[in-house]
Structure 1
């Protein structure tokens, strides 16, 4: 017994001719169906090119449009012709013009001969099918679909909506339990003959003519009535993306296709010369008894699907921005945000940069400009320090900064005087490490010697902004790693917070604290806070800061707390 091939062709006829010759040269009879939409002169040339090839014939042509009955009618015509003309055929393999045999045909023939009573057709009930796209699974069998989804989309959607609103339903023939699966099957002669010669075929055909995408359900359903033994899988390797569109294989997929051990693959790019040369010119070899195993490459396709659907952390496509609440990190790598440190220490950026042997930026979201490390105006990725460009989309500015400096941890200062629009993204970013010394914004005001009335107004505004910022950072939904100290607590024990900051940088920096930065002179700061209170502004974010020099002297008389420097 041999294997017969039904081939449905509508484009790339030159490649289809190559594959037809390959099947025929291996001794497999081939019946070709060419879509009626192909111009007559093109069809005639194609038919003439294969006229001298033995065991190759053509059947009645039908118009084949995706999702419509024409594909089933074409398959019925070609399969009936094949069975009538070739009584020695034991299995019929359905393929398309974009399919490519991956293993020598004699291996497929031997594989099927050893399974003479087995039908290979993916066939699952609608409740077990997770891959339907568009929300129509069971409904494709109970509604009417007289309109083309591709050419008459407006009418298609409106007619479906009307039926759903009116509660209309078709009656499924009592003998049938609808099943779905891949269009590309391999059926035994007995099963296929039983389907085509079923006494109820006319009634079944009338029903399926108004089913949506009947080529994925007609043979899959009827095979359950007539098959002796079904293996619910296809021998054709086909992969689909999250939109239900087939993956296209190119030349660089050569080793991937070999690894699958599948007999046939679709969908092959017509210009993939390397694939056609490699597989069609492959000589017959000793029979390999390997079982087709598309699962070997499923992990790669799953990764590709995940990257297509979810993207990569910190990278946005030009075509669309990521969903606001998606669970993938908005940035590509960990980074540190230090709030209040540069206000409390002299040349803090310089000290930290030297300690970790890395680059530490100033206030990247300051009102005047982005203060890049070393005073640079443009850094990786052509990011400018221009505040207008940055504030056009602060989230993209930070996302691009982290993406374009991957491999080097970024650290920058932040405060209530900066652009707060970036706060929301940092809150939901698991890559963000945020350390806050609350109330430190008051130190530059204290040292400015400006008009006190102006200082009071500025202090009230900064405290209001920082209070909102801290409330947001304390929400349970925050994904960033956040540490908050009041200014009083920090000054009392600065070593541990500084060590925490250094440990964020891991092995790329110095993980142990060997020297500390110089803290600014805070003599009189307590009285400054009291003056703010006396003027009606209550500075509470600093904690309980001592006011008079007597209290400060009393604290100095206390024995210092021991701190361990590792």
Structure 2
């Protein structure tokens, strides 16, 4: 007779539970099963008949079990009492569920426990030492009453908790115990388990824990500290939890991970994971390892999975986890550059920039007429449409998708006051954005237009107001983008240095410095145009100090004509 007994809590998927009970029994371990009273009698009777050929299988009294309630602890008590009474050779009792899959041969677990005859394996830590609690109840789960179900009577549950807080109600914790918490899947010695179940104060402890929230995570964990000679605060069952406190489910594609963990048992395994059940329950399976179980080997992978579900991938928003403002894990997926005013100042600027860099050069992708993709196609990467109605339904998501769909290739686009402005804050707060602005460049197309001056004045005032608001956003405390701002006057005075910065920011095709900027539009008479705007009462201050006669370009000065003085 084996020194290890298994208590199994069965709720659903009886065919898998029967397969697992048979595996434990054929491995030499007596098994006591508790089958939830919610299982119909017909199915329960069939389940018993499937296991009646096994001599070391027992069934304990059935209870109606509910998550977070005392019934789960009471069911494990009934099964454990039957185990200790029926099988005197059992020295360790292992609590498992109908979804707990043995990962190593049963004999390896038996030998492991026989070498540690006085050691209890149960995760047990005080509230202040664990970050596991989810739902806002830490110490309060031990000091408040919980007569209502959290799952089926949530509204009553929350109201009653608020009422107790308002009344400052506190239950007294019994003398002699300090509340501990941990995984409900434990492996206890006969001595410790007997002391818990047969102790003179069991009635007092049971009465107290009946009113505790989720007592199956604290009853044995607390009392084991009172009676155990030697506790290893860890579970021999591999179980991982997500950020909401729900257990990860293991599927067939987790096979390499489960093998790598070297753990004895895994919970919770999907009922249809045939590959896992066939692999780990195979009768032909030989001993594979005798190393210490080490779930830390796969902790990093599950931690990454939890973080990915919590914060997502930078620049990717799934429809299942649309983030709240400020909770995103990176606004965009990759660096990109925004140029403002350059296409107004230079002839064929996009063509010149495309020849000078390896980046993908767009036009004004937020133009009100259409999104000006590179090559001016109607559809771009990821089936992004140039339709402004579709784009402006969610413009920040449009930009986010553009960057995500083109990862690995630097994206550059033009922006200005004539464009849709809904992405200003998004770009300003995005650490991946590099924004280079020539303020007042919007005045150059107006200078070359054939509009009436009164109309030009009205448009200029509106565009300056829009650009002023945009520049204020770029200069705000919350902006995280790399921002460079030039006035039109200082840019035209010396364009080569700013253009070199543009090339360096985007990523040059060669490492040589540029020798000349692209061809600038004709600005003859532009200074008088600005003065006329001022005369009409519209002061274009964002242009900078642009002289009426125009800005002299650097170059050799003509020698002055000599003259004689008599």
Coarse TM-score class (shorter-chain normalised): over 0.9
**Contact 2:186–2:235 under 8 Å retained in 1:** yes
Q: What is the distance in 2 between the residues matched to 1:166 and 1:172?
A: 18
Instruction: Give TM-score, length-normalised by structure 2.
Output: 0.95
Decide which moves more: 119-128 or 495-504.
Answer: 495-504
Q: What is the distance in 2 between the residues matched to 1:553 and 1:46?
A: 94
Decide which moves more: 508-517 or 372-381.
Answer: 508-517
**Contact 2:37–2:65 under 8 Å retained in 1:** yes
1:5-52 deviation line (CA, Å, top 9, x unaligned):
000001111111111111111111111110111111101100110011
Q: What's 1:491 paired with? A: 492
Q: What is the distance in 2 between the residues matched to 1:284 and 1:368?
A: 68
Please give the residue correspondences for 1:219-234 in structure 2 after superposition, counting only pairs within 5 Å.
219-234=220-235
Q: What's 2:272 paired with? A: 271
Shift in alpha-carbon separation, 1:294–1:558, aligned structure 2, 3 A: farther
User: What is the CA-CA distance between 1:326 and the residue it aligns to?
Assistant: 2.1
**Contact 1:120–1:235 under 8 Å retained in 2:** yes
Please give the residue correspondences for 1:31-70 in structure 2 after superposition, counting only pairs within 5 Å.
31-70=32-71
Q: What is the distance in 2 between the residues matched to 1:533 and 1:146?
A: 77
Structure 2 residue 328 is the aligned partner of structure 1 residue 343: no
User: What is the CA-CA distance between 1:490 and the residue it aligns to?
Assistant: 1.6
Shift in alpha-carbon separation, 1:325–1:163, aligned structure 2, 3 A: same
Q: What's 1:476 paired with? A: 477
Q: What is the distance in 1 between the residues matched to 2:353 and 2:136?
A: 55
SS at structure 1 position matched to 2:15: helix
Q: What is the distance in 1 between the residues matched to 2:293 and 2:468?
A: 63
Q: What is the distance in 2 between the residues matched to 1:117 and 1:358?
A: 67
**Contact 1:126–1:179 under 8 Å retained in 2:** yes
User: What is the CA-CA distance between 1:554 and the residue it aligns to?
Assistant: 9.3
Structure 2 residue 557 is the aligned partner of structure 1 residue 557: yes
Q: What is the distance in 1 between the residues matched to 2:55 and 2:391?
A: 70
Q: What is the distance in 1 between the residues matched to 2:485 and 2:553?
A: 27
Q: What's 2:564 paired with? A: none
CA RMSD of aligned residues (A): 1.8
Please give the residue correspondences for 1:347-426 in structure 2 after superposition, counting only pairs within 5 Å.
347-426=348-427
Shift in alpha-carbon separation, 1:406–1:558, aligned structure 2, 3 A: farther
**Contact 1:505–1:511 under 8 Å retained in 2:** no
Q: What's 1:562 paired with? A: none
Stretches of structure 2 that go unaligned for 5 or more consecutive residues are: 560-566
User: What is the CA-CA distance between 1:75 and the residue it aligns to?
Assistant: 0.3
Stretches of structure 1 that go unaligned for 5 or more consecutive residues are: 560-566
Q: What's 1:9 paired with? A: 10
Q: What is the distance in 1 between the residues matched to 2:45 and 2:448?
A: 91
Q: What is the distance in 2 between the residues matched to 1:75 and 1:123?
A: 18
User: What is the CA-CA distance between 1:358 and the residue it aligns to?
Assistant: 4.0
Q: What is the distance in 1 between the residues matched to 2:164 and 2:424?
A: 48
Q: What's 1:103 paired with? A: 104
Q: What's 2:94 paired with? A: 93
**Contact 1:339–1:415 under 8 Å retained in 2:** yes
Q: What is the distance in 2 between the residues matched to 1:354 and 1:535?
A: 42
Q: What is the distance in 2 between the residues matched to 1:298 and 1:513?
A: 51
**Contact 2:104–2:287 under 8 Å retained in 1:** no
**Contact 1:76–1:196 under 8 Å retained in 2:** yes
Structure 2 residue 503 is the aligned partner of structure 1 residue 505: no
1:93-123 deviation line (CA, Å, top 9, x unaligned):
0000000001111111111111111101011
Shift in alpha-carbon separation, 1:288–1:359, aligned structure 2, 3 A: closer
**Contact 2:33–2:60 under 8 Å retained in 1:** yes
Q: What's 1:197 paired with? A: 198
SS at structure 2 position matched to 1:5: strand
SS at structure 1 position matched to 2:319: coil
Q: What's 1:140 paired with? A: 141
**Contact 2:357–2:507 under 8 Å retained in 1:** no
Decide which moves more: 409-418 or 327-336.
Answer: 327-336
User: What is the CA-CA distance between 1:350 and the residue it aligns to?
Assistant: 1.2
**Contact 2:312–2:328 under 8 Å retained in 1:** no
Shift in alpha-carbon separation, 1:307–1:554, aligned structure 2, 3 A: closer
**Contact 2:359–2:507 under 8 Å retained in 1:** no
Please give the residue correspondences for 1:61-460 in structure 2 after superposition, counting only pairs within 5 Å.
61-281=62-282, 283=284, 285-286=286-287, 288-326=289-327, 328-460=329-461
Q: What is the distance in 1 between the residues matched to 2:429 and 2:36?
A: 53
SS at structure 2 position matched to 1:538: coil
User: What is the CA-CA distance between 1:492 and the residue it aligns to?
Assistant: 2.2
User: What is the CA-CA distance between 1:54 and the residue it aligns to?
Assistant: 2.3
**Contact 2:103–2:259 under 8 Å retained in 1:** yes
May I ask how many residue pairs the two structures share in their alignment? 558
Q: What is the distance in 1 between the residues matched to 2:295 and 2:558?
A: 73
**Contact 2:356–2:508 under 8 Å retained in 1:** no
Q: What's 1:563 paired with? A: none
1:254-293 deviation line (CA, Å, top 9, x unaligned):
0000111110000000000000011111646458331111
User: What is the CA-CA distance between 1:179 and the residue it aligns to?
Assistant: 0.6
Q: What is the distance in 1 between the residues matched to 2:62 and 2:516?
A: 85
Q: What is the distance in 2 between the residues matched to 1:513 and 1:81?
A: 86
User: What is the CA-CA distance between 1:215 and the residue it aligns to?
Assistant: 0.3
Q: What is the distance in 1 between the residues matched to 2:481 and 2:359?
A: 22
SS at structure 1 position matched to 2:436: strand
Q: What's 2:562 paired with? A: none
**Contact 1:529–1:539 under 8 Å retained in 2:** yes
Q: What is the distance in 2 between the residues matched to 1:493 and 1:315?
A: 40
Q: What's 1:520 paired with? A: 521
SS at structure 2 position matched to 1:406: coil
Q: What is the distance in 1 between the residues matched to 2:473 and 2:378?
A: 32
Shift in alpha-carbon separation, 1:328–1:538, aligned structure 2, 3 A: same
Structure 2 residue 19 is the aligned partner of structure 1 residue 18: yes
Q: What's 1:564 paired with? A: none
